[in-house]
């Protein structure tokens, strides 16, 4: 669909919009939800100036920064995630992953996690060059997360140390080298509905395997700490529906902020409308939802966790 058609749907009756998205989901997926967990393998002191991020050196959030964890710590966290029902485990590092000793250690982390039966290794390592992407694939990364975060037109309002095209280039390089792309957004940073439609179109063109949908949880000490009530729960639902219509075969994943910004009822409606992935457990510097509570919610909706 083009921009005008998606805008018309965005403004249509909510129940009809949810029904349309629900039907598309049923046509393309089984009654399953893919569960992923993450670890912040390196936290803080990022050189990028993303306004939402507690790890940016430009912001002043009260977080505990640490250099790269040990390979064993990451391995044990992946085992714990598997015990809690996750089938995917993502190694996340703040900042750019420059070639050198730290990057070689990251490759060892990837190999370690990849050795665990029935756990698929993912990574989110910032902007990488072609050679680095080839190396992480060889080490065992099956899926790489690199979000567009917002629309092309709104990106400069959120970050200026890199541009929207840098992010697009990285995602395209990932898929070109045979790694699945995990590419999503952060809603509620002050963008308009037109930006949300443009996000859907940009993502549809990239054709990622999975799309994390974050809802901004304003963190004290960041440039967006006062950015509250910039999006309603209904607008989040409408955006989920539009993403499903624009990307019928992508896994749409609830990610950061949902436990703070969305009620349980809204989350259930989102699962009905097209969400078929969950980021379970804690996030990078904030608390997530308890996996036990997520499992109870999925059981109520007769949804099963994907088992590979």
Q: Is 46 a catalytic residue?
A: yes
- How far is 108 from 102, CA to CA, in rounded Å? 10
121 among known catalytic residues: no
What residues contact 66, with CB distance under 8 A and at least 6 apart?
42, 43, 44
Q: Measured between alpha carbons, how far is residue 24 from residues 87, 189, 246, 247 in Å?
A: 24, 28, 10, 9
Question: Coil, strand, or helix at residue 264?
Answer: helix
159 is catalytic: no
Catalytic, out of 36, 88, 90, 241? 90
CA distance 150 to 105: 31
Of 94, 177, 80, 90, the residue nearest 132 (C-alpha): 177
User: What's the alpha-carbon Rg for the chain, to the nearest Å?
Assistant: 18
Of 182, 183, 196, 258, which is the active-site residue?
Answer: 182
CA distance 115 to 135: 16
Could you give the CA distance from residue 111 to residue 107 in angstroms, rounded to a whole number? Answer: 6
- Per-residue buried b or exposed e for 155-185, using 16+ beta carbons within 10 Å of the residue's own CB: beebbeebebeebbebbebbbebebbbbbbb
* Cα 92 to chain centroid, rounded: 11
Catalytic annotation, pick one of 36, 53, 159, 241: 53
Choose, from 143, 167, 196, 253, the residue flagged as catalytic.
253
What Å distances lie between residue 140 and 98, 111, 119, 135, 146, CA to CA?
Answer: 19, 6, 11, 9, 17
Active site residue 253: yes
Catalytic residues: 46, 50, 53, 90, 122, 182, 253
């Amino acid at each position: 669909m083009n921009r005008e058609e998606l805008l018309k749907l965005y403004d249509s009756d909510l129940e009809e919009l949810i029904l349309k998205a629900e039907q598309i989901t049923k046509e393309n997926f089984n009654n399953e939800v893919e569960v992923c967990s993450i670890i912040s393998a390196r936290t803080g002191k990022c050189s990028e100036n993303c306004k939402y991020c507690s790890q940016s050196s430009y912001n002043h959030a009260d977080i505990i920064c640490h250099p790269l964890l040990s390979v064993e710590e990451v391995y044990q966290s992946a085992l714990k995630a598997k015990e809690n029902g996750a089938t995917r485990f993502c190694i996340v590092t703040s900042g750019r992953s420059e070639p050198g000793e730290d990057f070689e250690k990251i490759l060892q982390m990837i190999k370690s996690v990849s050795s665990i039966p029935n756990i698929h290794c993912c990574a989110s390592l910032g902007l990488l060059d072609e050679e680095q992407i080839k190396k992480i694939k060889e080490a065992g990364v099956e899926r790489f997360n690199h979000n567009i975060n917002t629309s092309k037109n709104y990106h400069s309002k959120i970050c200026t140390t890199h541009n929207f095209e840098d992010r697009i280039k990285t995602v395209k390089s990932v898929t070109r080298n045979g790694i699945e792309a995990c590419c999503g957004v952060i809603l509620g940073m002050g963008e308009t509905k037109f930006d949300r439609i443009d996000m859907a179109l940009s993502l549809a063109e990239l054709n990622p395997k999975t799309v994390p949908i974050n809802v901004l949880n304003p963190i004290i000490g960041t440039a967006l700490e006062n950015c509250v009530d910039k999006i309603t729960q209904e607008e989040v639902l409408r955006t989920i529906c539009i993403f499903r219509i624009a990307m019928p075969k992508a896994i749409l994943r609830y990610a950061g902020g949902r436990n703070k910004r969305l009620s349980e009822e809204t989350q259930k409606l989102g699962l009905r409308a097209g969400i078929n992935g969950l980021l379970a457990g804690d996030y990078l510097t904030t608390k997530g939802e308890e996996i036990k509570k997520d499992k109870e919610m999925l059981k109520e909706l007769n949804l099963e966790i994907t088992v590979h």
